[in-house]
C-alpha cells in the first residue's frame, strides 16, 4: 500500500473507479467474529457502521473506523467474506490515530484553500497527534497557524464525508499529473508496486491515501496546530526542506485542554533546560551529540550505576569490560557490517580498518570463546556498562534522549535451550524490580518480531519469537505485538515506560539471539559429552544511562528523590554568627555520607531559600540564633515546606531512611 501523501482539489477528470456490485452477494451470508470470541452471521455487503449500530447506539456514535482481519478499513466499507471484526472508537489508541490522520487531511485542505500553490509531502498520524509536510514559497509563522486553524473550523462545520475510491496506478498517475500537478505524490506513485492506489475526497479536496478516515469531518470537536519545523523530503538531506506543521485533535475539548496543559508542563520539565539550570551536563558545538557531564550530573550518573552494580551481584552477573575499538573483521563476522554499517564510525590503525563499537555483544562473544565451557557453567551472565558510538543525523539529536555516544547497561546471558524460559523470566523480574525503585509504575510491553533486514534462518527466528512469547504468557504479562521491529539478530521484548505526564519512552529490552552464537561458533559440552550451541540473551534495563537520566529528570520535573539527588541538603546560616555551628552541622552530614552544600553568602535567607528551591535541593537546613542555642536545625523541604526544628541525628536518620527505602 502507498504512504500517506499530499493533497489537491479534485480537477475535472474521467476516471474508472473500482466498484462492486453487491447484488451479486445479496443471497450469501458471512460469519463475523468479534474480539470477545463471539460469532454472528450477517448478509454479505453489510458495513462495519451498520454492525456497530446494531450492537449499540453508543458504540455507533463513537465509532471512527474498524479492523477487519487485522486490516484497518473505513466504517462504510462493505464486508464480503468471513473474518474477525473490531470496531475502533475514539476511546482506543487506534481510533484516536484515525481521528488524527483525518485532522491532518483537514489541515492540508485548509492550507490548499489559503495557499493554492502549495504541494504536499506526507501527513501521517504519529505517537502524539499528526503532522503534514508542505512545499510552499512563503515561510509560515505562528500567525499563519491561526489563519489555518480558522479555515479548518470552516471546513469542519460543513460536515463533509470522507469518500474512498480506488484507481489503477496509471489512473492515479494521470490524475495527479493533470490540472494540479503534485511532484511529491507522483514520486510516491512511481515507487509503488503495481496495485490499486486509493484516494480520499472530502468536499472539494482529494488526497492520495491508504486510509482509513473518520466518516465525517464534523467528528473533529477540538484541535490545535502546535508548531512548525523544517523537514527534508523523505528524511534525506539531499532533498528539499519542506515546512512541517504539527497538530493534535480530540473528540472532546476537555481532552485537548488537558493535553495542552501537559504540553506546557513538559516544557518546564524539559531535561535539556533543567540539565543546564541544575548544572548537570552540557552540549557543545565541538562535539555535537556528545554529552559533557558536570560534577553534579556525574554524581547522579554514578548513583544510578552503583545501584545497578549491586543488583547485578544479587542476580548472579559477572561484570566485564570490552574495548571500544575493534577490527572490521569482527563486525563483518557479527553481521553489523552488512546490517548496521551506516550507523558506525570507522578509523584506520596500522593500515587496517577498525570500527568504534556500536554494540557490546561481539565483545562478550569473544570473552565467552576465551574459555571452554561445560553445561555446568551455564547460564553465564556477563554484564557491561559499555560505552558505544552510533552515528545519528544532526536533525534527530535530542539532548540525552538521542546522542551519538552513550553507555548501555548491557548484559549477555549464555544459556542452554532449556534454560531460556527461566532466564527470560528472571530478566523480566529484574526489570520490574528496578522500575519500581525508580517509581516507574506504568509501562507496556511490546514483542518485536523479525525486521526486513536481518540475519538467521526462518526456523531460528520462529523458535526465538516463540520462546519470548511463551515467557510472557507464563508470566501472565499482557503485551502488544510490534511486527518487524526486532533487532537484526533476533526478536525482543521492549519496555515502554509512561512518565508523570503520560508520555511513553522505550527503555528496557530483552532480546533472544540464536544467530550470533552460530556466527561466532560458540560451544559448550553437554551432559552427553558432545558439543552444543548456546543461546544468547541480550538484556538492558535502562536502555542507556543517558536516556534513563533524561527520563528521570522529566518524570520528576527535576525534583529527584533524596537517594538520587546530587545535592541532598544545603546548610543556610542566617548570618555570620551562625557560621561556626553551620560548619559543624555541614561536617557531620558529610561524615554521615550525605551530599551536602553550604550557602554562606551574605544574602537574605529568603533569597537563599528561593535559590535552593530553584536548584531542586530536597532539604534546606536553616541555622538561626535559636537553632544554635538549642543545638537543633530548622528543616524545610522542597516538597512539603517547613517541617519545624529537629536534632541533627534525627535528621540524619530521617534522610538515611528515605535513601534506603528509595522514598
Which residues, other chains included, contact 4 with Cβ-Cβ below 8 Å and sequence gap of 6+?
101, 104, 122, 123, 124, 207, 208, 209, 210
Residue 380: what are its φ and ψ, rounded to 5°?
-105, 115
- Among the options 404, 492, 539, 636, which is catalytic? 492
Please name the residue that has the C-alpha cell 491561526. Answer: 146
For residue 39, give the C-alpha cell. 460469532
Please name the residue that has the C-alpha cell 552540549. Answer: 283
SS3 of 498, please? strand
- What is the spatial distance between Cα 297 and Cα 299, in angstroms, rounded to a whole number? 5
DSSP letters for 60-97: HHHEEEEEETTEEE-TTSBP-S-EEEEEEETTSHHHHH
Which residues, other chains included, contact 219 with Cβ-Cβ below 8 Å and sequence gap of 6+?
64, 90, 99, 102, 251
- What is the spatial distance between Cα 211 and Cα 162, in angstroms, rounded to a whole number? 10
- Compute the radius of gyration of the chain from its Cα atoms: 30
- Among the options 2, 119, 243, 408, which is catalytic? 408
Indicate if the alpha-carbon torsion angle 321, 324, 327, 333 is positive or negative: positive
- What is the spatial distance between Cα 180 and Cα 177, in angstroms, rounded to a whole number? 7
Q: At what angle do helices 253-269 and 545-556 cross, to 10 degrees?
A: 120
Please name the residue that has the C-alpha cell 529490552. Answer: 509
Is residue 361 part of the annotated active site? The answer reads yes
CB 376 within 8 A of CB 352: no
- What is the spatial distance between Cα 2 and Cα 66, in angstroms, rounded to a whole number? 19
Is residue 412 part of the annotated active site? The answer reads yes
CB 628 within 8 A of CB 578: yes
Is residue 40 part of the annotated active site? The answer reads no
Is residue 410 part of the annotated active site? The answer reads yes
- Among the options 109, 357, 381, 412, which is catalytic? 412
Is residue 492 part of the annotated active site? The answer reads yes
**559 closest CA partner among 612, 614, 615, 616:** 616
CB 470 within 8 A of CB 420: no
Is residue 427 part of the annotated active site? The answer reads no
For residue 479, give the C-alpha cell. 503485551
- What is the spatial distance between Cα 598 and Cα 295, in angstroms, rounded to a whole number? 16
- Among the options 164, 538, 547, 556, which is catalytic? 538
**129 closest CA partner among 602, 503, 506:** 503
Beta bridge partners of 448: 482, 492
Which residues, other chains included, contact 161 with Cβ-Cβ below 8 Å and sequence gap of 6+?
202, 215, 216, 217
- Among the options 381, 390, 539, 556, which is catalytic? 390
Please name the residue that has the C-alpha cell 541544575. Answer: 278
- What is the spatial distance between Cα 538 and Cα 388, in angstroms, rounded to a whole number? 15
- Among the options 410, 494, 513, 599, which is catalytic? 410
Indicate if the alpha-carbon torsion angle 254, 258, 260, 261 is positive or negative: positive
Q: Please state the three-class secondary structure of 304-369 as a single string.
A: HHHHHHHHHHHCCCEECCCCCEEEHHHHHHHCHHHHHHHHCEEEEECCEEEEECCCCHHHHHHHHC
- What is the spatial distance between Cα 239 and Cα 122, in angstroms, rounded to a whole number? 14
CB neighbours (10 Å) of residue 633? 26
For residue 442, give the C-alpha cell. 506504568
* Residue 319: C-alpha distances to residues 301, 309, 322, 357, 425 (Å): 18, 8, 10, 18, 21
- What is the spatial distance between Cα 345 and Cα 358, in angstroms, rounded to a whole number? 8
- Among the options 209, 361, 415, 427, which is catalytic? 361
Is residue 255 part of the annotated active site? The answer reads no
Q: So which residues are the catalytic ones?
A: 361, 390, 408, 410, 412, 492, 538
Amino acid at each position: 500500500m502507498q504512504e500517506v501523501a499530499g493533497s489537491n482539489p479534485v480537477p475535472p477528470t474521467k476516471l474508472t473507479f473500482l466498484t462492486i456490485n453487491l447484488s451479486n452477494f445479496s443471497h450469501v451470508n458471512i460469519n463475523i467474529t468479534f474480539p470477545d470470541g463471539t460469532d454472528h452471521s450477517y448478509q454479505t455487503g453489510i458495513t462495519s457502521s451498520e454492525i456497530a449500530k446494531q450492537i449499540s447506539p453508543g458504540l455507533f456514535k463513537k465509532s471512527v473506523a474498524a479492523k477487519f482481519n487485522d486490516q484497518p478499513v473505513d466504517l462504510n466499507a462493505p464486508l464480503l467474506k468471513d473474518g474477525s471484526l473490531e470496531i475502533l472508537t475514539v476511546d482506543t489508541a487506534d481510533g484516536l490515530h484515525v481521528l488524527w490522520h483525518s485532522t491532518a487531511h483537514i489541515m492540508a485542505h485548509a492550507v490548499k484553500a489559503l495557499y493554492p500553490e502549495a504541494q504536499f509531502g506526507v501527513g501521517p498520524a504519529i505517537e502524539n497527534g499528526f503532522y503534514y509536510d508542505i512545499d510552499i514559497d512563503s515561510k509560515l509563522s505562528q500567525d499563519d497557524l491561526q489563519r489555518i486553524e480558522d479555515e479548518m473550523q470552516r471546513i469542519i462545520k460543513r460536515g463533509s464525508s470522507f469518500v474512498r475510491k480506488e484507481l489503477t496506478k496509471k489512473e492515479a498517475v494521470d490524475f495527479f499529473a493533470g490540472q494540479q500537478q503534485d511532484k511529491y505524490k507522483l514520486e510516491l506513485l512511481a515507487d509503488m508496486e503495481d496495485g490499486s492506489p486509493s484516494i480520499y475526497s472530502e468536499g472539494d479536496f482529494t488526497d492520495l491515501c491508504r486510509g482509513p478516515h473518520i466518516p465525517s469531518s464534523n467528528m473533529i470537536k477540538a484541535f490545535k496546530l502546535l508548531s512548525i519545523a523544517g523537514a527534508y523530503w523523505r528524511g534525506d538531506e539531499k532533498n528539499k526542506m519542506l515546512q512541517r506543521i504539527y497538530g493534535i485533535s480530540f473528540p472532546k475539548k476537555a481532552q485537548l485542554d488537558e493535553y495542552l496543559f501537559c504540553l506546557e508542563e513538559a516544557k518546564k520539565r524539559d531535561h535539556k533546560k533543567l540539565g543546564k539550570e541544575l548544572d548537570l551536563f552540557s552540549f557543545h558545538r565541538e562535539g555535537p551529540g556528545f554529552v559533557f557531564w558536570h560534577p553534579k550530573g556525574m554524581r547522579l550518573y554514578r548513583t544510578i550505576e552503583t545501584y545497578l552494580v549491586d543488583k547485578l551481584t544479587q542476580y548472579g552477573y559477572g561484570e566485564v569490560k570490552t574495548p571500544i575499538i575493534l577490527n572490521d573483521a569482527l563486525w563483518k563476522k557479527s553481521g553489523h557490517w552488512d546490517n548496521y554499517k551506516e550507523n558506525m564510525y570507522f578509523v584506520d590503525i596500522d593500515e587496517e580498518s577498525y570500527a568504534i563499537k556500536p554494540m557490546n555483544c561481539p565483545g562478550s562473544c569473544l570473552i565467552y570463546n576465551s574459555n571452554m565451557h561445560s553445561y555446568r557453567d551455564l547460564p553465564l551472565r556477563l554484564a557491561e556498562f559499555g560505552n558505544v558510538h552510533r552515528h545519528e543525523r544532526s536533525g534527530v539529536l535530542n539532548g540525552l534522549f538521542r546522542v551519538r555516544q552513550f553507555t548501555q547497561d548491557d548484559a549477555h546471558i549464555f544459556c542452554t535451550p532449556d534454560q531460556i524460559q527461566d532466564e527470560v523470566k528472571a530478566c523480566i523480574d529484574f526489570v520490574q524490580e528496578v522500575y519500581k525503585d525508580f517509581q516507574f509504575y506504568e509501562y507496556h510491553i511490546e514483542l518485536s518480531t523479525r525486521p526486513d533486514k536481518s540475519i538467521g534462518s526462518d526456523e531460528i527466528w520462529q523458535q526465538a519469537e516463540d520462546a519470548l512469547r511463551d515467557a510472557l504468557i507464563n508470566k501472565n504479562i499482557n503485551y502488544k505485538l510490534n511486527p518487524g521491529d526486532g533487532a537484526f539478530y533476533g526478536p525482543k521484548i521492549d519496555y515502554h515506560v509512561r512518565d508523570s505526564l503520560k508520555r511513553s519512552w522505550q527503555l528496557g529490552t530483552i532480546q533472544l539471539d540464536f544467530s550470533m552464537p552460530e556466527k561466532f561458533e560458540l560451544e559448550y559440552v553437554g551432559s552427553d559429552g558432545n558439543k552444543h550451541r548456546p543461546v544468547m540473551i541480550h538484556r538492558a534495563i535502562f536502555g542507556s544511562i543517558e536516556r534513563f537520566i533524561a527520563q528521570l529528570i522529566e518524570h520528576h520535573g527535576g525534583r529527584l528523590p533524596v537517594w538520587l539527588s546530587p545535592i541532598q541538603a544545603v546548610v543556610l546560616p542566617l548570618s555570620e554568627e551562625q557560621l561556626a555551628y553551620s560548619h559543624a552541622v555541614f561536617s557531620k552530614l558529610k561524615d554521615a555520607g550525605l551530599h551536602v552544600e553550604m550557602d554562606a553568602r551574605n544574602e537574605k535567607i529568603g533569597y537563599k531559600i528561593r535559590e535552593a528551591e530553584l536548584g531542586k535541593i530536597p532539604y534546606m537546613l536553616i541555622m538561626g540564633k535559636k537553632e544554635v542555642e538549642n543545638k537543633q536545625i530548622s528543616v524545610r523541604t522542597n516538597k512539603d515546606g517547613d517541617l519545624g526544628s529537629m536534632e541533627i541525628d534525627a535528621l540524619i536518620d530521617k534522610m538515611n531512611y528515605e535513601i534506603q527505602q528509595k522514598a
